[in-house]
Amino acid sequence: MMAVHGRPRIGLGALWLPILLGPFLWGLTEVVLYPVSAQGCYTGFMPPAVPPAAAGAHWFNGIWVIVAVVLSALAMLLAIRSWSIVRGEDSSGDTVAIRVRFMALAGLIMSVVFLYAIAMYGVGIVLVGAPCG
């Protein structure tokens, strides 16, 4: 972080990552966990020869959710850091500072919302296991 004219400078990655990482991880979690969980139920017209718990889908789902929650929490910490840097600045009339402040706040909101969404989706998948129950 470098100071320009007395103001701290925040990189574009620190602003964009909290905005984009949460939705990306949530979508990836939806795309990956549902087929893995459904595969544990039925592989076709016949029930599986191995019970879903023994197929390893439950453990894979748990590990996937933990990794997604940790990455989303790291994005949230980055958003908190960015917001704390720009929060106290006087940005009246400076359009760049206003945009940076908006992106920092948007990143904070997005990362919190999608961290909650990933955690709640993961709790359901991990506790229930297979969606065909």
| Residues contacting residue 78 through CB under 8 Å, at least 6 positions apart | 14, 17, 18, 107, 111
Q: What is the pLDDT of residues 5-61, one digit of tens each?
A: 555 678 888 999 999 999 999 999 888 877 776 666 665 666 656 555 555 667 778
Instruction: Measure the CA dihedral 23/25/26/27, to 10°.
Output: 80
Predicted structure pTM score: 0.78
